Structure 1
Amino acid sequence: MEHEPSIFEQRDEAAEALSLERARADYAAGRYHDHATVSAWLRTWGTPNRKSFREWLKSSG
């Protein structure tokens, strides 16, 4: 019996290409945050101080 891939194993190359295009456009437009900033936000997960990224940015800056 041959294994039938699940929906999570099937690649959607058009969706991946569009996602990469959008990511590159965001980066080129300066819509990104450095690793240290995102890492600091992730350390709030599982704590009472967890907020959405946007809220956290406003309150931490």
Structure 2
Amino acid sequence: MKHEPGIFERSDPEAIAAADAQAEADIPAGRVHSHAIVGEWSMTWGKPGRLPFKDWLAQRNG
């Protein structure tokens, strides 16, 4: 039987290039957060009231 690649096994070079370009633009624009902040947010996953990152960050920063 021939193996059919799953959705995570398929490469989309255009999507990868677009994501890389966005990341490269985010760094000089200051749209980055420290590993510690992202790690703190990730500890809320699976808990009641979990918020999307931007909302959590706004609430955290008051």
The TM-score with structure 1 as length reference comes to 0.77
Task: Please tell me the root mean square deviation across aligned C-alpha atoms, in Å.
Answer: 1.7
Aligned residues with identical type, % of pairs:
48
Other-structure match for 1:45? 45
* Structure 2 CA distance for partners of 1:5 and 1:27, relative to 1, 3 Å: same
Q: Shift of residue 36 of structure 1? A: 0.4
Q: 1:42 is matched by which residue type in structure 2?
A: S
Distance 1:27 1:39 in 2: 19
What TM-score do the two structures reach when normalised by structure 2? 0.76
Give unmatched runs, 5+ long, in structure 1.
none
Q: Which runs of 5+ in 2 are unaligned?
A: none
- Between the aligned partners of 1:25 and 1:46, the Cα distance in structure 2 is 31
Alignment of 1:11-30 (within 5 A): 11-30=11-30
The 1-side partners of 2:43 and 2:24 are apart by 26
State how far apart, in whole Å, the 2-side matches of 1:32 and 1:57 are: 12
